[in-house]
Amino acid sequence: MSPLPPVAKSATSAAALGFPDAAAIPARARMAGEASGEAGSRDALNRLDAALGELTVLRVQPLLHKAVAALQADDFQAGGDLAIKALEMDEKNGFGWYLLAIARERAGDFASSVRCYESALTLLPDHAEIANDMGRLAYRMGMTETAEKLFAHFVASHPTSHEGANNLACAIRDQGRFAEAVDILRPAIAANPENALLWNTLGTVVGEEGDPQTSVTFFDEALRYDAAFAKARYNRGNARLVLGDLDGALEDCETAMTAKMGEDERLMMLLARSTIRLARGEVGEGWDDYEARLDPKFADVTHFMIEAPRWTPDSDIAGKTLLLMGEQGLGDEAMFANVVPDLLEALGPDGKLLLAVEPRLVTLFQRAFPSAVVGAHSTWKVDAHTVRGAPFAGDHSRLDFWTPIASVLRRFRRSAEAFPSRPGFLTPDPDRVAHWRKLLPAGPRVGLLWKSLINNGARHRFFSPFAQWEPVLAVPGVTFVNLQYGDCAAELDLVRRDLGVDVWSPPGIDLKQDLDDVAALACAMDLVLGPANATSSIAAACGAPVWLLSTPGAWTRLGTDRMPWYPQARVFVPPGLGQWAPAMQAMAEALAAAFPAGTKTDPVN
């Protein structure tokens, strides 16, 4: 069928509202407190069916009524086909574009759906529900600024709609404007005090702002009004995990999973359970649940473009050719590499490993695993989906198996005791280590980092404010070296001005991009201090002495008081989320003991 002619854009067009002209932006993982409602819900379709009486071109009415009936029966293909037939008769029929948008969204074709919503909104500017549906799609695609504009348009027309207030608050929350989100929810809750949805969303706002204890109170309130509200129970479980209540977290998550829900929501909760199980030390079961991330029904799944059989834990790989795909973030790729030596041993001398990693890690991994073919993976954004491939691997027909790297943990790391005692599994450049040792100032050299530049949503809760590092920075006789990537001039100036401490900045290195040299610099240190981020993970994976500032309920400790991934690392855990002072004081005392009067000792012990 030839494409339909486009409808001219107006001031409310998709481009004007921030939608890209080409591929859409993929969604990020979200809490279960998202924009509510569903495009093409039964109530919405009934209202739309009644509104068809406004049509001036009456000959398309029967087709559109049939399209509505098909969508109500969940037959999105037939509903879309009928809408297209109506549009072929009247290409400027806004209801036809609206029904086609709903059909394409429900079928998962978000890029086409955006264009159809755009046309519908242009032709039916007074139908604010179109803006609400389009906002939900934008929100689902991670386009929160655009979603905010669309939800605000809907709220202006429906000021008493609790759904509109909820959706607008969600979009504003996800941009980190927590106080504004609360200001939107407060009057909505006052007008609808028994609305569990609003209490749940308020819980997600304060939880992401960094107050999980108060968020539990609001989730309790949501459950008081609707005991079967699975998302509120799931969210309460996540808050309990952050607070270190692992038993309560598991109970809430598993109870929530018994409710009737869509497959995407079930997979989201299965992933949450994997984190809880890992934190409880149920390591094998946690990795089994973690496979939910690869299910094509999971909304935020990464699609790996590899045409070869998937490896499974019972696959016989001796003498085979295996492609191992890096996944998640930089720090995860470095941490998960803990298992690569086991995989090489299982492949044996006649096997071959192709290892795809983030481009900045290629050189470091090549040096660590010289028998493997190491190359960069490539990632694309197609519609609302993330797609990853390994172009360097060439013809996939020569591959016997492929697997994402974390899946291998299901076979080789099913308990904390299964982690080897070797202090490092990546190899820094020895010449660059020697270079930095000569260049570094005298005295015990302690590398310092304190934040992550990936600060989406609630992630900021897991990194202490820089001012909390004062007890550590006040330890005398220690030369602190800046390992923090990104713009940190303000923090370093603060330390110089208020504490009289000059944190030495290494010259000629980009701490974000030159990761091979960062690994060498870290290994030239007497000690590295910081939270778990990309730099500390690379340093620890290379065997550098590292002290990590962790959090209650951190899954990476795998139910222990240490980091099984890095046996040489020491872990400091605050007594509660955000209670950094006791952990910082303990770290400062340990640092002073490790380097008395500036003398080099073994800081690990």
| pLDDT, tens only, 483-537 | 999 888 888 888 888 888 899 999 999 999 999 999 999 999 999 999 989 999 9
Residues 209-231 have a mean pLDDT of: 94
How far is CA 208 from each of CA 13, 531, 533, rounded to the nearest angstrom? 32, 19, 19
Give yes or no: residues 153 and 164 share one domain.
Answer: no
Of 130, 157, 184, which one is at a domain's C-terminal end? 157
Q: How far is CA 347 from CA 86, 129, 323, 401, 426, in A?
A: 59, 57, 12, 11, 19
389 located within any domain: yes
Section 291-313 average pLDDT: 92
The C-alpha atoms of residue 203 and residue 182 are separated, in whole angstroms, by: 10
Number of H helices, E strands in the chain: 26, 12
Element (H, E) at 133: helix 128-140
Mean pLDDT for the chain overall: 87
Q: What share of the chain is helix, strand, coil (3-state, %, to 5)?
A: 55, 10, 35
What are the two backbone dihedrals, phi and then psi, of residue 346, each rounded to the nearest 5 degrees? -65, -35
Domain carrying residue 348: 302-414
- pLDDT class for 276, splitting at 50, 70, 90? very high
Residue 338 has pLDDT above 50, yes or no: yes
Please give the pLDDT value at position 600: 56
504 shares its domain with 593: yes
Question: Which 3-state string (H, E, C) describes 300-337?
Answer: CCEEECCCCCECCCCCCCCCCEEEEECCCCHHHHHHHH
Classify residue 464: in a domain, yes or no.
yes
- 169 and 188, same structural domain? yes
Tell me what pLDDT residue 487 has. 86
For residues 141 and 169, state if they share a domain. Answer: no
Residue-level pLDDT at 22: 28
CA atoms of 563 and 277, how far apart (whole Å): 16
Question: End of a domain among 99, 129, 157?
Answer: 157
- Distance (Å, whole) CA 472 – CA 591: 7
Split at pLDDT 50, 70, 90, the class of 40 is low
Q: Which residues pair with 292 in a beta bridge?
A: none
- 172 and 319 part of one domain: no
Q: Is 285 inside a domain boundary?
A: no
User: Hey, how many other C-beta atoms are within 10 angstroms of the C-beta on 287?
Assistant: 22
Residue range 102-114: average pLDDT?
Answer: 83
% of the chain exceeding 90 in pLDDT: 60
Last residue of a domain, one of 114, 132, 157: 157
280 falls within a domain: no
Which pLDDT value is given to residue 369?
A: 98
Q: Are residues 443 and 552 in the same domain?
A: yes
> Which residue type sits at 511?
L
Q: Answer yes or no: do 153 and 173 share one domain.
A: no
**Residue 23: what pLDDT?**
30
Q: Which residues contact 509 (CB under 8 A, 6 or more apart)?
A: 517, 518, 521
In a domain, 441, yes or no: yes
- 68 pLDDT tier (thresholds 50, 70, 90): confident
Are 212 and 246 in contact, with CB atoms under 8 Å apart? Answer: no
* 165: CATH: 1.25.40.10
Q: Establish if 536 belongs to a structural domain.
A: yes
What digits encode the pLDDT tens for the residues 380-420? 887 667 899 999 999 999 999 999 999 999 999 999 999 99
Same domain, yes or no, for 10 and 84?
Answer: yes
* Per-residue confidence band for 24, with pLDDT thresholds at 50, 70 and 90: very low
pLDDT of res. 12 = 37
Nearest to 531 by CA among 605, 422, 449, 420: 449
Contacts of 18 (CB under 8 A, 6+ apart): 138, 143, 145, 146, 149
pLDDT at 89: 87
Instruction: Tell me the average pLDDT across 131-159.
Output: 87
Mean pLDDT throughout 34-39?
65
> Does 409 share its domain with 437?
no
State how far the Cα of 8 lies from the Cα of 119, in Å rounded to an integer: 8
Query: So what's the pLDDT on residue 577?
Result: 79
Is 537 found in the same domain as 389? no
Q: Which residue has the higher pLDDT, 5 or 353?
A: 353
pLDDT over 70 percentage in the chain: 87
Number of domains into which the chain is organized: 4
Say if residue 142 is in the same domain as residue 213.
no
Residue 472 lies in a domain: yes
Residue 10: band (very low, low, confident or very high) from pLDDT cuts 50, 70, 90: very low
**Rounded Cα gap, residues 520 and 186, in angstroms:** 52
Q: Does any domain span residue 279?
A: no
When mean pLDDT is compared across 3-7, 369-373, 392-396, 596-600, the lowest value belongs to 3-7
Judge if 255 and 309 occupy the same domain.
Answer: no
Q: What is the pTM of this model?
A: 0.83
**Exposure of 247 in the CB half-sphere (CA atoms within 13 A):** 0
Residue 530 belongs to a domain with what CATH number?
3.40.50.2000
* Per-residue pLDDT, 73: 86
Helix pair angle (196-209, 178-191), 10° resolution: 160
